Structure 1
Amino acid sequence: MTEKPLALITGAAQGIGYACAEALAADGYGVILSDIKADGVRAAAEKLGAVAAITCDMGDLDQIKRMFDQIATDHGPLHALVNNAGVAMPGDFLTYDVETFEKVIDINLRGVFVATQMAAQVMVDNNIAGAIVNMSSINAQVAIPAIPAYCASKGGVMQLTKVAALALAKHNVRVNAVGPGSIDTEMMAGVNANPEAFKVAMSRTPLGRPGDAREIGDVVAFLCSKKASYVTGETIYVDGGRLGLNYTC
């Protein structure tokens, strides 16, 4: 058991998830890192001095339940949850198969719902004024034809965040979301490697550069802090001005 307030971050082996864990650790949380990549999450946890590393597929309901049971038994109740794990799985709309669509939804949306429900129950049972942050995307509002399931899942996360915030407000559990734009992570590697694609991405980003994972982590840490004590049900878009531009080139 740790005396620090505990935060669980999913998809934390690298990129945005690791940056969220780093920012929360700096704010005084004891962080538990979860990821489907066993070696990666162990290495990340060791580097950060995390409380624990747990291997979990957020598309597998049994694994999610085992993870929460393990945390409760070994470490105590959670004070914060960051639902960051997610996949994109691009493809042509007309040939996009249902199995792929379901896999994306299972990880990006169903997994977020289940983890939110389980974490919230722990917070309510322990009278904890907790914080839950879900990773949405600007693609909750602006669509890209090549990632239909991803766009659908992130739109669902945006609405699920509002629903959970309303349901849990009476328990003093806040639920918010962050919607990243073009962030310099592994998911953007293909765009970065293609000068034309990178030019297009930056043409629709008023600040003219990709975001850094740390910039997402800082917003997540804010939402988990007392500085955001009157913020719930919101999605904060960290997108370099993308949504305000209203068009793409």
Structure 2
Amino acid sequence: MSGLTVITGAAGGMGAEAARRFAASGPLLLCDVSEAKLSALLPELAGAGHRIVAGDLTEPAVLAAIVAAVEANGGLARLIHTAGLSPTMADARRILDVNLCASVRLTDALAPLAGEGSAAVLIASVAGHTAASDRDADLDDPLADGALDRLAAGGDPYAGYGYSKRGVMRLVEARAAAWGKRGARIVSLSPGLIDTPMNAAEFDAAPVIAQMLAATPVPRMGSAGEIADAIVYLCSPQASFVTGTDLRVDGGVVAVMRTDPNFGQ
């Protein structure tokens, strides 16, 4: 497939594993806030022509640099959007801005550069499956005046995180038709408890994480490699009929959370 594969959050656990999977398939654009970590990843990757863009995705200049690189390399082959903040990393407003608003801007900016066979995979979360539906109007248009303030009202980072990931799932549903007209697909993927440094911090801060792990039907944490495997599938011709939907890779924990009346007791 011609064009550039864009991987955000490429210095993190899931993003770095995705970069290793796709490195031999064509040029990669690796994006993250840490230039040093991105530069350290490059020597690990097979293939040639890989480059980096370091910075915060909420910054217009960073988005512009990504778009310019894709334009200069024949369009978008794949978008693998793993960048995001967890509840221990920021307040609700910042989490929503990074996880949801930046996702809207990124996917909408890259959509005109997608073509036949292009695919976008946005990382959501099992938290999005249990978030309340009371703010869906603002989740569906988070860039509207006042929407971010309303979504962040109350300031709870855990609620903000859940809303942000529900918004990502709704985003791919809303954009599927437009991407389909270009011969492209857009999906989200909801990891469960994955063994990454980000999740390790959540274990220490939120007792419910341990409850989730104990309730997971596959009795262990998942790995970044297993998420990367799912991303490879979603970007492949084998998933050519999969778009506008969310794939849970969670060991079954959402099923338990929805059906076990004793969960959380």
Partner of 1:117: 108
The partner residue of 1:45 within 42, 45, 54 is: 42
For the pair 1:131 / 2:131, whether they are aligned, the reply is no
Partner of 1:140: 128
CA positional deviation for 1:76: 3.3
Percent identical among aligned pairs is 29
Are 2:190 and 2:246, in contact at CA under 8 Å, matched by a contact in 1? yes
Question: Is the partner of 1:190 in helix, strand or coil?
Answer: helix
Query: Matched residue pairs, number?
Result: 235
Question: Is the partner of 2:122 in helix, strand or coil?
Answer: strand
CA positional deviation for 1:161: 0.6
Which consecutive aligned stretches of 4+ in structure 1 deviate over 4 angstroms post-superposition?
Answer: 143-146, 191-194, 196-199
Are 2:233 and 2:239, in contact at CA under 8 Å, matched by a contact in 1? yes
Could you report, residue by residue, the CA deviation over 1:54-102 in whole angstroms, capped at 9, with x for unpaired residues?
Answer: 10311212321122213433x33221101110002349xxxxxxx9322
TM-score by length of 1: 0.85
Partner of 1:174: 185
TM-score by length of 2: 0.80
Are 2:120 and 2:235, in contact at CA under 8 Å, matched by a contact in 1? yes
Partner of 1:35: 32
Q: Unmatched 5+ residue regions in structure 2?
A: 133-155
CA positional deviation for 1:23: 2.0
Are 1:4 and 1:30, in contact at CA under 8 Å, matched by a contact in 2? no
Q: Distance in 2 between matches of 1:203 and 1:134?
A: 27
Are 1:14 and 1:44, in contact at CA under 8 Å, matched by a contact in 2? no
Partner of 1:55: 54
Q: Distance in 1 between matches of 2:33 and 2:83?
A: 9
Could you report, residue by residue, the CA deviation over 1:138-187 in whole angstroms, capped at 9, with x for unpaired residues?
Answer: 01112497611111100000000101112221221100010000000011
CA positional deviation for 1:5: 4.4
Question: Is the partner of 1:128 in helix, strand or coil?
Answer: strand
For the pair 1:219 / 2:230, whether they are aligned, the reply is yes
